[in-house]
Amino acid sequence: MNKEIFAAFYTQKGGAGKSSMTILVASYLHYVKNYNVAVIDCDTPQASICDLREHEIKVVSENDYFKALACAHFRNLGKKSYPVIRSDAANALDEADRLLNEEAVKPDIIFFDLPGTLKSNDVIKTLSQMDYIFTPISADRLDMESSLQFVTLFNENLITTGIAKTKGLHLFWTKVDGREKNGLYAMYESIMDEMSISVMKTRLPDSKRFRKEMLGDRKNIFRSTLFPAEKSQIKGSNIDLFSEEVVSLIKWQ
């Protein structure tokens, strides 16, 4: 590969887990698959990914268990943690340029965590420069209407007009309840197929582990910017399969 990729997990709907997905996939690709990753957190004012990185650094500095774990982890990895840059939608692309020009090890992929509003010209401008956009959806009528409206508007107003550089816009199922009938998902996918909307194969289950962060008294790591999710925690989450599918959809030039 000789060209970096800009990517975002994006939806207008709050609480869909786009920041969690950014962290989980970025960490899997950087720490497990050995890609060089960077994250630009421009989801102001909360900046939850930056806050998590700062919290984790504090935990590692104060907790002997995690301090030893971090030393062994980075020694075996042979590289540093991926950078997490605090920014906003207006300056995110400039921050990406700075990373690419100044970092000794240039990232293969930069993830942007953006605010969930298309009423901001800065958000639209930055989103239009993403090579790939991954949009979480759930089997809920209001959620589906919001997601389909976003995909339709983005396709018609930005991709087909050539304003956006986006090569792929892919929806993926989250919060999948194993008790729900598969016919419901088949019905929605049939509608999206008629609209020529891409839906990823990997489905992510409805699980509390997607909200688990690294705490001083918790040894099981799942959502972390410093460590990959532990194998025991990944099992059944499909994060490994999902991350592999993300890579398979990206076409480096």
**Is the pLDDT assigned to residue 114 strictly greater than 90?**
yes
- The DSSP output letter for 80 is P
pLDDT for residue 34: 95
Task: Please tell me the distance from the alpha carbon of residue 126 to that of residue 6, in angstroms, as a whole number.
Answer: 10
For 9-50, what is each residue's pLDDT tens digit?
A: 998 877 778 999 999 999 999 999 999 999 999 998 889 999
Record the pTM.
0.93
Domain count, the chain: 1
- pLDDT at 178 > cutoff 80: no
Residue ranges in the chain assigned as alpha helix (H):
18-27, 48-62, 64-77, 92-102, 121-127, 141-154, 182-194, 231-234, 239-249
**DSSP category for residue 155:** I
pLDDT in tens, 74-113: 999 999 999 999 999 999 999 999 999 988 889 999 999 9
Q: What is the DSSP letter of 143?
A: H
pLDDT, tens digit, 9 for 90 and up, residues 204-233:
998 777 766 666 556 678 899 999 988 888
Coil vs helix vs strand at 118: coil
pLDDT over 90 at 58, yes or no: yes
Strand order in the sheet with 37-41: 84-86, 37-41, 109-113, 5-9, 132-137, 168-173, 198-199
pLDDT value, residue 219: 67
Asked whether the beta carbons of 213 and 52 are under 8 A apart, the reply is: yes
**What pLDDT sits at residue 214?**
61
Q: What's the rounded Cα separation, in Å, for the pair 65 and 63?
A: 6
Quick one: what percent of the chain has pLDDT higher than 90?
66
pLDDT above 90 (res 183): no
Distance CA 135, CA 18 (A): 8
Q: Is the per-residue pLDDT at 180 higher than 60?
A: yes
Nearest by Cα to 102 from 51, 47, 38? 38
Give whole-number Cα distances, 149 to 52, 133, 169, in Å.
31, 15, 13
Q: Domain residues for 117?
A: 5-249
237 vs 2, more confident: 237
Average pLDDT score, the chain: 90
Q: What is the pLDDT of residue 241?
A: 97
Domain with 218 in it: what CATH number? 3.40.50.300
| Tokens, residue 120 | 């901001």
Under the banding of pLDDT at 50, 70 and 90, the label for residue 184 is confident
